[in-house]
Structures are given as structure tokens and as C-alpha cells.
Structure 1
Amino acid sequence: MDLLGKAATLVAIIALGYLVKRIGWLRREDFRVLATIALRITLPCALIVSFDSFEITTSLLWVSLFAFVIIIGGQVVAWALNRGGGPRAQAFGVLNVSSFNIGLFVIPYLGAFVGPEAVVIASMFDVGNALASAGVGYAWGLGLATEKRASLLAFVRTLAHSPVFITYVTLLVLGLLKWHLPRPVIGFATTVGAANTFIAMFMIGVGLEIVLDRRSYAMAVRYLSTRYLFYLVAAVLLWLVIPFEPSVKVVITAILVAPMAAMAPGFTDEAGLDVGVSTFMTTVTLLVAVVAMPALLIVLG
């Protein structure tokens, strides 16, 4: 019941953000401002606190590798299943089917439900997620949409401009070296990072949109079906084949029902593809995750 209560609290914050937008105090365009605060300020601080309170072992690097492999696998499946629709349909699949909103959803969610250990596991998963979706998938998707070759320079530039990814790498190196940041820095990060859960959930409410015509609805159902079927298979393989600890498997299984990455609609817009469908898919995966993640945590213990 405690998990359900926490889930209800997070849903209420999302609803508050949506209500504030509906009554005109904020506009949907303010989503970008809130996202900037979360991604560049509160989330890095929350990560600093989480990594400081949990010992990183080299075994956790396998979580990053697992994330990278399955997310690339999802991109390949989306690309292959949409070959008949042409490069633009394939590009949309690569950019939208296989990514996860770890920083703005999973981390505050698991942080509220489970604690620092789950946050670090999710963060290690996000290292692979960032490489696969913001790196390989971004370059591949834009290349398909514009009919240009994927650029190694674009790949490197994308990662270099990601404060979250840079934070992950820095903290990963510090953790492996058993180095800790000064206590005043941790104290500052604790205060700022405490706001991350509220800002992340509130921001999602501000950005929430459910607008879709019949053609777009069918398109969204096709891509969402690909996403959920692929990650259902990945979850089965995780429990039957991958030799992770049960606690790690529980966290990863919860992640596999997480929403699409918040950056997916932005990448879709940059590629000149259907932003409306991408936004709707993001909203649907968010609503599914609100129910599915706490349910899985309860069932799996």
C-alpha cells in the first residue's frame, strides 16, 4: 500500500502540472524551461547524491551494456518492420520505438519507491540508454530521414552537449576510482536534487497532450505495439538467460515499461517527421508506466 500511496502522489503532481497549464498559468511552451532546469540542474544534483551513497562495482557496467544492446536491438527491429514504408517510416521507428525516459521519470519514481540502490542501477542503465538513443539512434534516425549517412561527428557532438550523459560518465569514473566529492558539494547537491522529483513530474504534466486523428492513431498503435512486444521478449530473456542478481532484474524489468525518452519528440521534429504522433506515443507510454511500474515492483517484490 505504501507503493500505491507514493504512486498516487506522483500522479497527483503530474495532474497538478496539467491543471496549471489548462487554467493558463503556464503554457505548453514552458515545458522546455522546466526540462532545462531538470536536465541541467536538479537531475545532475540528484545523481551526485545517489552515486555518493552507493558503491559502484564493475559488475554494474554489465547493466549499461545490457541496456545498450537491447535498445539498439529495438531500433533494428523498428527499422526492419518498417522497410515497406520507406526511409522516413524507418527513421520514425528508430527515433521513437526504443528509448527510455530514465532521468525525468524512472529515477524520481524509483527514488521515491525503492531508494538509492535502484537509482544507481537505473543510472547505469541510462548510460547505455543515452549512448544508444541519444547517440546511435539519433544519428541513424536523422540519416534515414534526410537520406544522409550517419555522422560520427554528430554522434560525438550529441554526447558532448548532454549534461546528463557527461554527469553519468564523470560520476562513473569517480565511483570506480572510489573517489568522493567534498561534503559541501554533496550538501548543496542534496538540497537542489531534492527538487528533482517534483519538477520532473510537474514538467510531464505541463507537457501532457492527447490529440490524435484516426490515421495518426493507427500509426501510433503500430509503433507502440512494436515497442511493447519487443521489450516483453527482452524481459523474458532477462529473467531466463541473463545472470544478474534478482534485485537488479526487478529494477530493469520496471525500467522496460518506462515511458519513451522526453527527447524523442524533439529528435522527431529535427528530422521533419510527425511530432504529433511522437508526442502522443510519449503520453501513452507515460500513462502506462504510471500504472505498470508500481504494479511490477509490487508483484516482483
Structure 2
Amino acid sequence: MGAIIIQAVGLFLIILLGFLLKQVGLLTKLDGTRLSIVIVNVTLPAVVIVNLAHIAIQGELVVFILIGLFWSIFQIMIAWLVSKKQEKIQTQFFMYCASGFNIGNFTLPFVQGFLPLGVPLISMFDLGNSIMLAGGTGLMVDGFVNHTVAFEPRQILRRLLKSIPFTCYLVMLLLRIFSIDLPTSFLTMLQPVASANVFLSMFMIGLYLDLKLPKHAAKDVVKLLFLRYGVGLVLIVFFYFLPIPDVQKTVLCLLAVTPVPLFGVINSVLAGVEEETVGFASSISFLLSLPLMTILLLLLGVTF
């Protein structure tokens, strides 16, 4: 228990360090954007490759791909039902930010530090999650809110394959299906890069933190967070009683309280939601997810 708390405090201090360096003017939010490029294209792919290099592809991993896909669809439907009577722009805000999972910049670094055995499950889950974030969510929003549907699978596939992490997930999945091993020397060289992912991801979150909120948007932000985490907590109770292995149960519970994904922020701003509103909601979700995930690990009381 003590080790979990100490590690969680360490992650929070890294976030705080990034935030303080931004506040004193040594770094800016733009540096966070530059850092995210390094994370998404270098350290996160290294984590995927290192942690999937020796896994045996079993049915549970394939199932997690489908869970990632259909869970996102479920979130979008719930968000639409809750917000469909509000203004169009508010409905889009809820559908984009109450759905999807922030895997690469938060959940995977968290699991990497606390629960290494959960990384393959998270990685497979992110395959399904990425399909929605790369175009599936926008398609559903257009259908329900704008009443226009333009299904373009080639565009979605092209967008997915441009994502280096997604491509790494896919390549590693295929390699493991055919039991093809990567050279040990290559994996050894990648290990330090993968290890840097936790620090860089938490530090980037600190640079992105934005605690300014327009007063008129407070009600919507509270409702969004209540929706996202309220539904998540209900699902945690459901997952807890499922007759599945402890590692899978813990991973699903952690996924239920992940923060707002980056694509949710981007798409909301493109839809016309104020950047300050979306930025505040995203920042608070990070600050909520870290303690919630830590508490879940303590309550589940499982040692891996």
C-alpha cells in the first residue's frame, strides 16, 4: 500500500513540476505540445514494442480490442441521451469529451508504472479506442447532432495508419500472432526510451494544465465530469463482480476513470466550444483520474 501511495505522489509531483515551470515562465503550453510530439512518436511506440514483444496472443487480448470499440460507442450514446435537449454545441461538447479514453498520455504511463502486466491489455484496448477517436466518434456525432452521415472508411483507415502508436499496436499484434520475435539487442536499446515515457507524459500534463474557467461554463463542466466519472464508477461496481482474472478486472476498473482524451479536446474546439472551457474540463479530469486510479489500486488490494 505504501509503495502505491509513494509512486502516486511521485507522479503528482512530476505534474506539479511541469505546472510550476510554466507558471514561472521557464516553459509554456507550447512546450507541452512539442513534448507531446516526442511522446506520441517516440516514447509511446517504444513502450508498445517493449511490452508486447513477448506476449502470447490469446482470446482475452482480442476481446479487449472489441471492448475498447464498443465501450466508446456506449459512452457516446449515454452522452447523447443526457444532452440531446441542450444546445447543439453543448451536445457535441458532451459527446466528444464524455467518450473515449486517454490511453497514450495518461492511462498507459500510469499502468506502466503500477501494473506492467496490464500494459498488453491496455494496448489492445487502445486499438478499438483509436478506431473511434480517429473518426468513429465524429461519425456518430454528425449522425446524431447534425443528421449527416458521411462514412468514409478509407479516410478513417488512412488517419489510423498515420498514427505511429496505432501502427505499432497493429504490427506488434501481427508479429505475435505469427510468433515472430524481435532481436533482444533491439529491445534492450528501446528500454531506456520506453522508461522515459512515464516522466515525459506526466510532465506534459503539468504544462497543459489550465485552471481558468469562464463562469457561464461551470455548470456544463460539472455535468460533463459527473457524467464521465459517474458512469465510470457504476461500471467499476459491475466489473468488480465479474468472474474474470484480477489483472483484467483491475485494468477495466482503471479504464473506467480515465481522463478526457486529446481528440475530445480538439474536436470540441473545432465544433465551436470555448478553448478555456474544454481546457479546464480536460485539466480537472487529469487531476481527478490520478487519485481515483490510485484509490482503486488500494481498494482492489491485488499484488501483481
Alignment RMSD, CA only? 1.9
| Alignment-derived partner of residue 163 in structure 2 | 162
Task: Provide the residue aligned with 2:72 in structure 1.
Answer: 71
The aligned counterpart of 1:42 is 43
Deviates more, 1:250-259 or 1:84-93: 84-93
When normalised by structure 2's length, the TM-score is 0.91
Gaps of 5+ in 1: none
| Cα distance in 1, alignment partners of residues 56 and 100 from structure 2 | 27
Normalised TM-score (structure 1): 0.92
Q: Displacement, 1:147?
A: 6.2
- The DSSP-based 3-state class of the residue aligned with 1:211 is coil
Q: Is the 8 A contact 1:212 1:280 kept in 2?
A: yes
- Deviations, residues 4-54 of structure 1 (Å, cap 9, x unaligned): 111111111111111111111111122211111000111000111111143
Tell me, yes or no, if the aligned pair for 2:99 and 2:264 is still in contact at 8 Å: no
Amino acid at match of 1:95: Y
Does the alignment pair 1:249 with 2:249? yes
**Alignment coverage as a number of residue pairs:** 299
Q: Deviations over 1:183-219 (max 9, x none)?
A: 2321222121121111111100011111112221111
CA distance in 2, matches of 1:199, 1:284: 19
Amino acid at match of 2:32: F
Partner of 2:230: 229
Q: Contact (CA 8 Å) 2:269, 2:278: kept in 1 or not?
A: no
- The one-letter code matched in structure 2 to 1:223 is L
Q: Which residue of 1 aligns with 2:285?
A: 285
Q: 1:247 to 1:227 in 2, by over 3 A?
A: same
1:108 alignment counterpart: 109
| CA gap 1:64/1:92 in 2 versus in 1, 3 angstroms | same
Going from structure 1 to structure 2, the CA distance change for 1:9 and 1:53 (only over 3 Å counts) comes to: farther
For 2:56, the equivalent position in structure 1 comes to 55
Distance 2:279 2:143 in 1: 21
2:212 pairs with 1:211:
yes
> Partners in 2 of 1:231 and 1:11 — Cα distance?
22
- Partner SS state of residue 195, structure 1: helix
C-alpha change, 1:199 and 1:164, in structure 2 (3 Å) is same
Pair 1:132 & 2:150 matched: no
Aligned to 1:296: 296
Instruction: Give the AA of the match of 1:49.
Output: V
Rounded to whole Å, the distance in 2 between the matches of 1:283 and 1:150 is: 32
| Cα distance between partner residues in 1 of 2:58 and 2:33 | 35
Identity level (%): 28
Mind listing any 5+ residue stretches in structure 2 that lack a counterpart?
none
Query: Match of 2:261, as an amino acid?
Result: A
